[in-house]
Amino acid sequence: MKKNMGSADKIIRILLAVLFVALYFTNIVTGTWGIVLLVLAAVFVLTSFVSFCPLYILFGASTCKKKEA
């Protein structure tokens, strides 16, 4: 599993996860949409900690800085 996420990408995902959790626990978003946001928040946190996004592989994308040899 090669890392394909840069620092800015990780920070944005963590901030979105915090926002989604806050929306759910303040009852702004409830029901099915609330559960969807919580699951998405969990995925964002997980992918941020492992620095790998499976969708990036499908699209051939990477937000990591290239290392020069």
Q: What is the pLDDT of residues 8-51, one digit of tens each?
A: 999 999 999 999 999 999 999 999 999 999 999 999 999 999 99
Q: Is residue 67 very low, low, confident or very high in pLDDT (cuts 50, 70, 90)?
A: low
* Mean pLDDT value across residues 54-62: 87
Measured CA to CA, the distance from residue 19 to residue 34 in angstroms comes to: 12
What is the torsion angle, in degrees rounded to the nearest 10, for the CA atoms of residue 42, residue 45, residue 5 and residue 7?
150
For the chain, give every domain's residue range. 7-59
Map tokens 């099915």 to a residue. Answer: 32
In residues, how long is the chain?
A: 69
* The predicted structure's pLDDT at residue 3: 87
Complete DSSP assignment for 3-30 = ----HHHHHHHHHHHHHHHHHHHTTSS-
